[in-house]
Chain A
Amino acid sequence: MADTAAVPEVRQLDSIIVRFAGDSGDGMQLTGDRFTNASAVFGNDLSTLPEFPAEIRAPQGTLAGVSAFQVQVSDHDITTPGDAPNVLIAMNPAALKKELHRLEPGGTIIVNEDAFEDRNLAKAGYDETPLEDGSLDAYTMFKVPMTSLTKEVCKDIGVKPRDAERSKNFFALGLVSWLYTRPVEPTLDWIKAKFGRQELVAAANTAAFNAGHAFGETAEYFDVTYEVRPAKLQPGVYTNINGNTALSWGLIAAGQLAKLPIFLGSYPITPASDILHELSKHKNFGVRTLQAEDEIAAVGSALGAAYGGHLGITATSGPGIALKGETIGLAVSLELPLIVIDIQRGGPSTGLPTKTEASDLLMAMYGRHGESPIPIVAAYTASQCFHAAIEAARIALKYRTPVMLLSDGYLANGTEPWRLPDVESLDEIDVQFATATNAVDAEGNAVFHPYVRDPETLARPWAIPGTPELMHRIGGIEKEDGTGNISYDPENHQRMTDLRAAKIAGIANDIPPTMMAGDVDDADLLVLGWGSTWGSITSGMKRARAEGNKVAHAHLTHINPFPADLGDVLARYPRVIVPEMNMGQLSKLVRAEFLVDATAVTKVKGQPFTAAEIHEAILENIDD
């Protein structure tokens, strides 16, 4: 057949943005993931944005049940999943209705024509089919009967029609793979590996994928295909990774670098559960995991393990942090190392469990009773979650303090290619347990005082049970400086409060200076960011600078304490804007700390900033 088809023109593009959308049960996340993977192996740079409803199976065919996956594939270095998709694959009317507004003007729509029947149209709220009423004339539309073509091709291999229908996402994937000249082997290999044992399923998915690919090639329907050449990435070995996996691997690496066993206490919560899943897979690294009875037990067990000499970790999202607050306060008082991970999501309360937001910063900073400062480390890209986890561990272990590690739903589930670090290049984390007495009592006996501090770090000794002669009792009641005995003395409480604050403040001398980019020396505007806004700010600033604007970007990886040079950085520029996926939390902190007139640029829509939004904010605020 192929020899009879006209050969379509191949058009070179520097990047494409594809959005797959369908019902929750249509396998859109998997389809997007496979398209991404094929592109990664092909050598493109890429960035992804999965978006799915909180319900596992919302009523079929409804707007509430639409699940989408956006990916930007590029021949150059990119930092976001793109603003407006160039092409939308809509597997049913609801997907078209819900996602169409995102599509670029004049963009391409590929629909599964079979799904546009009366019942589905009604569920999506269409009175008549939008495929025929002219409402989509401004777009390039391809109507493909994906369900029936999939059923047809599966009939020959003995798959029942109802089962065959489930493979229609692979038909779509085959078609889009052809349209964008993606390599097919990675997908076919993956199907074989994934479904190898279920022969019929593997056969149906393979047949559907091949049929989709062949449809593009032979249907004389598409007169152009596209190609995005491999990106010129730094040489190295790459893997495609999402934030939660990178973060989990970073925790495992931290355990190896510190030569400590890992203990994770966690309670299932979206979007943090994958950290529990991932760490549970790697018990051969000496990782112990406990699915605790609740969030409080999760952090409590991690603190208990830390007392026993393990790297204690708990992972959760905002609602879980709220519950853990009292125990984090205990960890502040006990001065034991502990990593508390908050994969932020939309709030308050249950909020938007599957949507991203970065509105827990002030809770991380102040969400405990009493004066209880803790360091805050914030990850800024999916792959960088690996290094952020190691950094959180380094600070926790060195300063014997709970550390809050902030990520969010966007970083957690979004993927990007990651140039794998050389394991040998990672710095070891030096951890010394106390082994000897450190004081003398009134009778001249050598004794152990648990709150005698290292003069440089102000950290106290970590004496773990099993160590002879160092038996000691610690607790949440205020302790006497040095001995650690219970003390209600007013002067002592002031001193201990000051010491705990000074210990955390001193970390500023042990972290890198503020990460800077752009027109560092002569910018008219500084964009101050933290967390996952890094990608959008980088892209948005690039556009503004390409137009001749002088813009600098400062990005915070450490929020408590701030880098030592941050005050000077902020004072250097006439204007400062702070884009945040909250209502202005970092901007409040820097205004309070540095008396700087920082303008918050806020967004809480469950989605990351687009580059266009950052670009616009820069133009609005820059002093002409």
Chain B
Amino acid sequence: MTDIVVPETTKADWTSDQEPRWCPGCGDYSILTALQMMMPDLGLRREDTVFISGIGCAARFPYYMNTYGIHSIHGRSPAIATGLAMARPDLNIFVIGGDGDMLSIGGNHLIHSLRRNVNLTILLFNNQIYGLTKGQYSPTSEIGKITKSTPIGSLDEPFNPVSVALGAEASFVARTHDMDRAHMQEMMRRAFEHQGSSLVEVFQNCNVFNDGAFAAITKKANRDEMLIPLRQGEQIRFGADNEHGVVFGADGRATVVDVADVDESQILVHDESRRDASLAFALSRLSSGPYEPTPVGIFRAVDRPEYAAEASKQLAFAQEQSGPADLRALLHSHQTWEV
């Protein structure tokens, strides 16, 4: 993007002098480490990089990055980041938040930043619980969740964050989990490189209030059978011997089958660049929770005009049409008369 050589950096350069204050064993540590280790590979200047968060455990993230950053208020980080991205298209902006921050109090800002396609890399740490307020159910908690605020069980149908993002016209949507550093880094890198809003859902374990929520699918022993890797241009297959696959049914639903039971050519070949989001959406519906085989990887990555760039073009267009700023001419632009 620029001819000027960016000095090489190391993980230490991206690490601030503040001690992380998450509970010991929190999944946030592995996400932070994965990101700090990956940052040098992106070839960025620290001073051109900004982390913006809302409120929640995940939202402490900016304090630990040696970049610019704002730890803002609950739910509003996509809105604040949108203003910054429009004002400063030269910056690399990351938005960090949890499921309560991004999908409950800030749900409106999340969907609108996704549809606008502002150049933001949004990392949504989903632990299916409110941690900082000590354990209430969240908008991604399963129905029937017993918490302090729902002693007889929660009644709310949970959001599927990938489905929400696809429904909000997101141009890049991916999913990963906190037990696989390499996969997290690949998803974050691809999300960053994407021009426009990119959303990465990260399954994150809250070992205090919702321990093991994702264990059924992310534990090493379970991954082969329970995680469905989405790989560009490859058939969607999983299992120790790739014996399972995903087919697209006549009813518009994606379904898991045993490859032996179908004609192999029926197995879906993954294409993240499909303009139409229907198939990506169908894939997001394969699993309704972390207890059945769940796709991870990039669901959708399509090119769409980036918002801040388009807004800048309008400024250039206006200057072409109306000429450069002339305050005197503006004040005299309505009918005037002389006394």
Contacts and interface: CB of A to CB of B under 8 A. Distances in A.
A304 interface: yes
B321 interface: yes
B70 A473 contact: yes
B71 A476 contact: yes
Interface in A261-278: 261, 263, 265
A532 to B, nearest CB: 21
B47 A475 contact: no
Interface string A355-380: 00000000000000000000000000
Interface in B296-339: 311, 314-315, 317-319, 321-325, 327-328, 330-332, 334-339
Contacts of B315: 283-284, 286-288
B46 interface: yes
Contacts of A464: 88
Contacts of A410: none
Interface stretch (B61-69, B198-206, B251-259): B61-69
Given A308-B88, A473-B16, A301 B82 contact: yes
Contacts of B83: 263, 265, 290, 300-306, 308, 312
B50 interface: yes
A420 B332 contact: yes
A242 to B, nearest CB: 10
Contact of A421 (B84, B322, B331): B331
Contacts of B322: 282, 284
A476 B45 CA distance: 26
Given A308-B87, A423-B327, A486-B63, A475 B334 contact: no
Interface string A328-348: 011000100000000000000
A476 B334 contact: no
B339 A234 contact: yes
A15 interface: no
B87 A309 contact: yes
B183 to A, nearest CB: 28
B32 interface: no
Nearest to A190: B335
Contact of B109 (A37, A297, A477): A297
B115 to A, nearest CB: 9
B336 A239 contact: yes
Given A293-B108, A473-B68, A239 B88 contact: no
A252 interface: yes
Contact of A300 (B16, B67, B76, B325): B76
B87 to A, nearest CB: 4
Contacts of A485: 18
A297 B86 contact: no
B184 interface: no
Given A308-B88, A310-B87, A236 B338 contact: yes
Interface residues of A, number: 73
Given A297-B112, A423-B331, A327 B81 contact: no
Contacts of B16: 473
A304 B339 contact: no
Contacts of B334: 239-241, 245
Interface string A237-270: 1111100010001001100100001010100000
Contacts of A326: 73
Contacts of A465: 47-50, 68, 84, 88, 91
A423 B328 contact: yes
B62 A466 contact: no
A233 B339 CA distance: 7
B33 interface: no
A304 B65 CA distance: 18
A268 B72 CA distance: 24
Nearest to A262: B87
Nearest to A386: B331
B71 A475 contact: yes
Given A284-B323, A300-B83, A301-B82, A477 B71 contact: yes
A122 to B, nearest CB: 42
Contacts, number: 202
Nearest to A486: B63
A236 to B, nearest CB: 6
B79 interface: yes
A471 B68 contact: yes
Which of B79, B85, B91, B318 lies at the interface centre, i.e. has the most chain A CB atoms within 10 A of its CB?
B79
Nearest to B21: A486
B331 A286 contact: no
A534 B315 CA distance: 38
Contact of B339 (A235, A253, A296, A308): A235
A583 to B, nearest CB: 31
A464 B68 CA distance: 8
Contact of B337 (A40, A253, A290): A40
Contacts of A241: 334
A37 B335 contact: yes
Given A265-B83, A307-B70, A237 B328 contact: no
A41 interface: yes
B160 to A, nearest CB: 22
Given A283-B318, A285-B325, A240 B47 contact: no
Nearest to B324: A284
Given A297-B108, A303-B80, A284 B325 contact: yes
B122 interface: no
Nearest to A472: B68
Interface string B73-113: 10010011111111110110000000000000000110010
Interface string A288-324: 1010111011001111111111101000000000000
B52 interface: yes
A467 B86 contact: no
A369 to B, nearest CB: 11
Which of A236, A292, A471 lies at the interface centre, i.e. has the most chain B CB atoms within 10 A of its CB?
A471
B117 to A, nearest CB: 14
Nearest to B76: A300
B72 A466 contact: no
A186 B314 CA distance: 34
Contact of B87 (A41, A263, A297, A469): A263
Contact of A288 (B51, B62, B86, B325): B86
Contacts of A308: 83-84, 87-88, 91
Contact of B336 (A237, A312, A471): A237
A470 interface: yes
A440 interface: no
Interface in B29-56: 45-52, 55
Contacts of A238: 336-339
A474 B71 contact: yes
Nearest to A330: B73
**The 5 nearest A-B residue pairs measured at CB:** A475-B71, A301-B83, A304-B83, A300-B79, A283-B318
25 contacts: A252-B327, A283-B317, A293-B79, A293-B109, A294-B108, A296-B76, A297-B109, A297-B112, A300-B79, A300-B109, A301-B83, A304-B80, A304-B81, A305-B84, A305-B86, A306-B83, A327-B76, A334-B70, A465-B50, A466-B88, A470-B47, A473-B51, A473-B70, A473-B71, A475-B71
Given A245-B334, A307-B84, A466-B47, 20 more contacts: A40-B337, A235-B338, A239-B335, A282-B322, A284-B323, A286-B325, A288-B86, A294-B108, A300-B83, A303-B83, A304-B82, A304-B83, A305-B84, A307-B80, A308-B83, A330-B73, A468-B45, A473-B51, A475-B70, A476-B71
